[in-house]
Structure 1
Amino acid sequence: MEEEGIVFRTGTDVGKDIKAQKLLQDFDRVVLACGASNPRDIKAPGRDAEGIYFAVDFLTANTKSLLNSGFEDKKYVDTRGKALVIIGGGDTGNDCVGTAIRHGAKTVTQIEMMSKAPDQRAQDNPWPQWPKVCKTDYGQEEAIALYGHDPRIYETTVKEFVKDKKGSLKAVKTVKLSWEKDPESGRMVMGEVPGSEQTLEADIVLIAAGFLGSQDYVAEAFGVERNERTNVKTAPGEYQTNIKNVFVAGDMHRGQSLVVWAIREGREAARAVDESLMGYSNLVVQ
């Protein structure tokens, strides 16, 4: 495609090197597909301690250093001999567990707010529904083989990041959580369990607590509205934003999801753009 004259630019160029207004002037339609890489932070005392990183930053730096220099450039967070705490589950948290272990971490603990899923299907989760069972992925499997136990602690959150005199992280204070009924709304919410505080040794913390939609500067540059989940807003099943000629697709539209959904939305957005330009579309989305 580059040989044909197509110029690729990263999403970080938009609103900085390239102004959104110029794109709207130079092109008939613009599709925003910049992902949902705005990480959810953990607002707890001591958050400014040295040694706390977002999980994706940790994983990205690790991969770049490995591919570029075989780790010789030292441009990554080395967990060798360190006590590691990972906040959050999912695929990202699991990748952090596996990467830290392969570095040679001393200990790895993974904290999850939610309850542990059952090991087998519950009666209210029959086939062919998606099995809502506890998933032990490669990272946890390697931790179990190396340390002799599952690294995950469930129904737990961080109350404080503990710093030493130099401002470096040395521990995290956690508390257990339980589901309680809110007397005002009647909804079930998670509350702290009194007396369940615990202190875990931690030289490094990796935050894998999910994402909060797209980066602010891209959405703000185009003036597109966002919904309560901070994703770019469209009418249900549509891809046209509130700004004329600006469309959206993928994670920026639906939030963090699987690549198959990004492919599907890309095709549907292309059809919507085609209809916008031509008044009809022969594109078939399967």
Structure 2
Amino acid sequence: MADPKGFMSTPRQEWPRRPVDERVRDWNEVYVPGTLLPIISKQADRCMDCGIPFCHHACPLGNLIPEWNGLVARQDWRAASDRLHATNNFPEFTGRLCPAPCEAGCVLAINQPAVTIKNVECAIADRAWEDGYVEPCPPERLSDRTVAVIGSGPTGLAAAQQLTRAGHTVVVYERDDRLGGLMRYGIPDFKMEKHHLDRRLEQMEAEGTRFRAATVVGRDIGADELRARYDAVVIATGATAWRELDVPGRDLAGVHQAMEYLPPANRVCAGDLKVSPLSAAGRHVVIVGGGDTGADCLGTAVREGAASVTQLDIYTMPGTERDEETEPWPTYPKIYRLSAAHEEAATLRTAPAADADARLFAASTLRLTGDDSGHVRGLHLVEVDAQRRPLPGTERTLPADLVLLALGFSGPDRSDGLIDQLGIELTPRGTIARDAHFATNVFGVFAAGDAARGQSLIVWAIAEGRAVAAAVDRYLMGGSELPAPIGPYDQPMKV
């Protein structure tokens, strides 16, 4: 605790964003470059160094937050990097993409704005790369064990890095042409530029992890062949089976899933395409779904030059303060949050009929209608109450040339045949069933991340990857010194 009165004398200050009219003209990250480090030491000084730091418990990785806050306050960046990387393989990812449940659990947040934990984490990670503290950590000796990891999202990469460092020969299989899973083609560059991902992959390759992109396990390589070739298999394919909108007009042209829309936009940024085939330019866009994926679609459509963009959220508009009765501290509360994309939409007035920024709350889609050519032209909605019951007399129609469905994901995609070829058992909700050791019903096959947990946060994905790595190491060697921050049945703090 560098400054015992820091939380009393220093107000919360967050990483400044670039002006809206500037940042919507490019795909770079929304923050002002070079403005985080000058403010972050004072922000770290706000940490109270609590006797019982609930931020530890709110974070599934168990990040040593008060320790690296104190080190940053004292400008000891190398030690701070060491403490941060001791529990988190990819802090530059979480520092940009995680919604920071740790801040909701900050003791200071009981009656003041929380410590900017996420910004401190990002500053440490970026400074560590800048100063050369992040180096490959190859194992001192190799085992004679081999592991296949299917999926190169945060879970697969974390598992692969941990198992490689433990001495095993690890091969990561990815069905897309580039590595990274949803971080590559699902997350827009304005949230995380892809060079952050690329340099981690370079580090992992230098440590000995091998990668096989553009390889669909179940088609390009059969499940039986995979099991015969490796001593253990980790399924970390994510929950990519998207939920559908079952309303009349769903089959009209111009109605697409969010994950059909976002990847081409990312490919434009990567230089693969000049223009996305689903570009929102000049079109009236309606996004069905109020979550982060919907916000990613919103920010993308704004940058593509949409004529209008409206986001529908079936939930009622939350308040700006925590409801202490239903969501007491230190749980993660559902409150009104203004993401960068929503700030842009509000400033540019992309949806004049919206309740706030670009969102219409308590709105349920009734049907979609189109023109004579079969292309969508309108979305008919109705307002609903807290129990999602339609309110009479509230129907209205929004113009819609492009409708994007961002309704979440139900479980792993089975179209590649992997799950059926292996004979993997599923839970009633469609996720992969596993025991207390992350093992499936198939000997030597383990499952982690969204494929087994269900759709969750990136910080849980990395924690799952670290935990399944410890389980696989124990299975292969009879014991393990790898950390296991969570168990397969652990859940976020809630009432």
Identity of aligned residues (%): 39
Alignment partners' CA distance in 2, 1:12 and 1:88: 31
1:227 paired residue number: 427
Alignment partners' CA distance in 2, 1:35 and 1:209: 16
Alignment partners' CA distance in 2, 1:213 and 1:47: 21
1:178-208, CA deviations, whole angstroms, 9 ceiling, x for partnerless residues?
Answer: 245xxxxxxxxx3323333221110000111
Alignment partners' CA distance in 1, 2:330 and 2:210: 45
Structure number having the greater strand percentage: 1
Q: What TM-score do you get using the length of structure 2 for normalisation?
A: 0.52
Q: Is 1:158 aligned with 2:365?
A: yes
Alignment partners' CA distance in 1, 2:247 and 2:214: 31
Give the Å deviation of 1:260: 2.0
Please tell me the root mean square deviation across aligned C-alpha atoms, in Å: 2.1
8 Å contact 1:82–1:105 — kept in the other structure?
A: yes
One-letter amino acid of the structure 2 residue matched with residue 107 of structure 1:
S
Q: 2:343 aligns with which of 138, 141, 148?
A: 141
1:29 paired residue number: 232
Q: 1:110 to 1:83 in 2, by over 3 A?
A: same
1:19 paired residue number: 222
Structure number having the greater helix percentage: 2
- Aligned-partner SS, 2:389: strand
8 Å contact 1:21–1:222 — kept in the other structure?
A: yes
8 Å contact 2:215–2:221 — kept in the other structure?
A: no
- Aligned-partner SS, 1:178: coil
1:236-255 pair list within 5 angstroms:
237-255=436-454
Q: Is 1:178 aligned with 2:385?
A: yes
Deviates more, 1:254-263 or 1:98-107: 254-263
1:276 paired residue number: 475
Q: 1:48 to 1:2 in 2, by over 3 A?
A: same
- Aligned-partner SS, 2:410: coil
Alignment partners' CA distance in 2, 1:215 and 1:239: 19
One-letter amino acid of the structure 2 residue matched with residue 229 of structure 1:
R
1:24-59, CA deviations, whole angstroms, 9 ceiling, x for partnerless residues?
Answer: 122221110111111111111111111111112211
Alignment partners' CA distance in 1, 2:310 and 2:316: 16
2:250 paired residue number: 47
Q: What TM-score do you get using the length of structure 1 for normalisation?
A: 0.88
One-letter amino acid of the structure 2 residue matched with residue 178 of structure 1:
D
Alignment partners' CA distance in 2, 1:77 and 1:55: 11
One-letter amino acid of the structure 2 residue matched with residue 133 of structure 1:
I
8 Å contact 2:222–2:418 — kept in the other structure?
A: no
Q: What number of residue pairs does the alignment pair up?
A: 274
- Aligned-partner SS, 1:111: strand
- Aligned-partner SS, 2:484: coil
Provide structure 1 residue ranges, at least 5 long, that are not aligned to the other structure: 181-189
Give the Å deviation of 1:2: 5.7
8 Å contact 2:468–2:484 — kept in the other structure?
A: no
Give the Å deviation of 1:7: 4.8
- Aligned-partner SS, 1:56: helix
- Aligned-partner SS, 1:8: strand
